[in-house]
Amino acid sequence: PDGAADLDRLNAQGYNITSVDANSASLVVTAEELLWLAADGYDVSGAEKHARKPIATPGAKGLGVYHSYTTLTSELQAYAAAYGSGQNSNAKICKLVSLGKSTQDRDIWAVKITDKLSKEENEPEFRYIATMHGDEPVGTEMCLYFIDILLTEYGSDSRITDLVNNTEIWIVPLMNPDGLEAVERFNHNGIDLNRDFPDWPSGFSGTIFDGAPLNDNGREAETRVIMQWSAEQSFVLSANFHGGARIVNYPFDDDNKGSGVEAPSPDDALWQDLSLRYSTPNSPMFNNPVPDSPGGVINGSLWYEITGGMQDWNYRYLGCNDVTIELDATKIPNENQLDDLWDDNRESMLAYAEASHIGVKGIVKDKNTGDPLYARIEVIGNNQPVFTDPGKGDYHRLLLPGTYNLKISAPGYKNKRVRDVAVTDSEATTVNVKLKPAVFKTDLNGDGKTNSIDIQRMVTALLNTPDEKSCDVDSDGKLTVSDLQLIVTNVG
Ligand code: ZN
């Protein structure tokens, strides 16, 4: 039997594959679909009825117990009160924000942890998101342990103090609160949120920097909240937590290659390195039995293809590196195993967050005014760009050790190339850049003024001679309406 062909067929038929093992796959199906699968000759003897029973001890407080939406909310509020006001060790390092509401009107909480809470700094923005599948709550608990050590060990543990001082850390412990309350994979509308993000290329083309629309029409409330927030932030590195296996999977999940076929991204080597930073300290994950996953890491499509996943959207549309981390073979392990799971994941969560400091970083400014710019940073030979945070102009391009050539561009500015940037395996190399505003030659006929004659010439060129270089006002290599726009604004 050809397992990959089966997976493709099931995927094409609309079945929701949630995990793949050596000789079997896990699917979430209705009772009717189960009958169809059996009729198609699949061995469905391992099917389990989905039990809508609540997670053990809802309402408990503290670490090492499963939280409900309500107890999670009060716990996060307590952390924010204690560590956002300076009452603990004078450290104001924690802020609680509601990003928006779920379908059933629950808050989707984000915790921000950094040393200067309301100041834009030249720091990478890092993120963990948990439990977009409501019946995979281990990630929520790992996030709470992580929040707890960042806050309580800040100021005493030098490694944690450095991380908090130099990183803007965001943690969304519960993306699908309605699903958690219902002990249900899907959101309240029965939608799998990790299949609800815009696909490439049908859902969007280009990046947010190119002005490709965010296009969240028709998406679920939870998906929209995460999309809009992610587009406003400038995340450099991210991971989202799941359960049902022990593995890190990295983009692409979907590059139209089919399940069981590797779909490498332009940053494939970087992905393997980043994923291994998570799996290596976590011995059950590192030694997991999934085929083709040495060290507990695997390309998403090689494992099994999914469409509409969050990590591909983050990477392709925002230039944010995102991986999917499966924390335990059991979706809801016994509560008394949570402490052990935290032991497995503590070093992993720290090491992965610290990886947001590798590669090249810097600030891009206007050469004349010194204003920070929204710019695109490209590594020559790698077509995956990253973008500056427009508030501060800072960029953080994660790269493995080597020597790289960079191209920095921004609309209305002359491109700049920086050659032979040496990247080591320690802290990111700093490359600050000042871009010169481009001078636009809008006086096409050279008569000393920009007027209707130039507009006429531009329109004619647009319609008849799209290769006419002398009319390429912004020197981007093509004639477009923006060239005409530049002439119109310069008339007079
Ligand atoms: Zn999941």
**Ligand 1 midpoint to CA 430 (Å):** 37
**Ligand 1 midpoint to CA 168 (Å):** 26
Question: Given the structure tokens 């006002």, which residue do they identify?
Answer: 473
Distance CA 353, CA 277 (A): 9
**Ligand 1 midpoint to CA 145 (Å):** 20
**Ligand 1 midpoint to CA 270 (Å):** 23
> pTM for this structure?
0.85
For the chain, list residues with pLDDT below 70.
1-2, 50-61, 86-90
**Ligand 1 midpoint to CA 491 (Å):** 56
**Ligand 1 midpoint to CA 343 (Å):** 21
**Ligand 1 midpoint to CA 325 (Å):** 9
**Ligand 1 midpoint to CA 244 (Å):** 7
Distance CA 311, CA 323 (A): 6
- Which of 283, 288, 277 is closest to 245 using CA atoms? 288
**Ligand 1 midpoint to CA 49 (Å):** 18
Distance CA 311, CA 250 (A): 8
- How much is the pLDDT for 56? 45
**Ligand 1 midpoint to CA 311 (Å):** 12
**Ligand 1 midpoint to CA 327 (Å):** 10
**Ligand 1 midpoint to CA 137 (Å):** 9
Crossing angle of helices 138-152 and 158-166, rounded to 10°: 100
- Which of 486, 484, 479 is closest to 464 using CA atoms? 479
Tokens of 250: 């990295």
Of the residues 125, 141, 184, 326, which is catalytic?
A: 326
Q: With left for phi above 0 and alpha for psi between -120 and 50, is residue 64 left, alpha or beta?
A: left
Handedness of CA 69, 73, 74, 76 (dihedral sign): positive
- How much is the pLDDT for 132? 98
Distance CA 309, CA 192 (A): 9
3-state per-residue secondary structure call for the chain: CCHHHHHHHHHHCCCEEEEECCCCEEEECCHHHHHHHHHCCCCCCCCCCCCCCCCCCCCCCCCCCCCCHHHHHHHHHHHHHHHHCCCCCCCCCEEEEEEEECCCCCEEEEEEECCCCCCCCCCCEEEEEECCCCCCCHHHHHHHHHHHHHHHCCCCCHHHHHHHHHCEEEEECCCCHHHHHHCCCCCCCCCCHHHCCCCCCCCCCCCCCCCCCCCCCCCCHHHHHHHHHHHHCCEEEEEEEECCCCEEEECCCCCCCCCCCCCCCCCHHHHHHHHHHHHCCCHHHHCCCCCCCHHHEEEHHHHCCCCCCHHHHHHHHHCCEEEEEECCCCCCCCHHHHHHHHHHHHHHHHHHHHHHHCCEEEEEEECCCCCECCCEEEECCEEEEEECECCCCEEEECCCCEEEEEEEECCCECCEEEEEEEECCCCCEECCEEECECCCCCCCCCCCCCCHHHHHHHHHHHHHCCCCHHHCCCCCCCCCHHHHHHHHHCCC
- How much is the pLDDT for 87? 59
Tokens of 380: 């020559």
Cβ burial, residue 361 (10 Å; 0-12/13-18/19+): buried
**Ligand 1 midpoint to CA 242 (Å):** 4
Whether 249 and 323 have beta carbons less than 8 Å apart is answered as yes
- How much is the pLDDT for 61? 59
Question: Given the structure tokens 């996953």, which residue do they identify?
Answer: 293
Contacts of 278 (CB under 8 A, 6+ apart): 239, 248, 285, 297, 323, 325, 348, 349, 351, 352
Whether 65 and 338 have beta carbons less than 8 Å apart is answered as yes
**Ligand 1 midpoint to CA 436 (Å):** 46
**Ligand 1 midpoint to CA 18 (Å):** 7
**Ligand 1 midpoint to CA 429 (Å):** 36
- Which of 119, 113, 122 is closest to 161 using CA atoms? 113
Give the type of residue at 73.
Answer: T
- How much is the pLDDT for 480? 87
Whether 366 and 373 have beta carbons less than 8 Å apart is answered as yes
Question: Would you call 326 a catalytic residue per the annotation?
Answer: yes
Tokens of 295: 């060290």
Tokens of 357: 């400091």
Contacts of 295 (CB under 8 A, 6+ apart): 275, 276, 279, 280, 286
Tokens of 186: 């899907």
**Ligand 1 midpoint to CA 469 (Å):** 51
- How much is the pLDDT for 1? 43
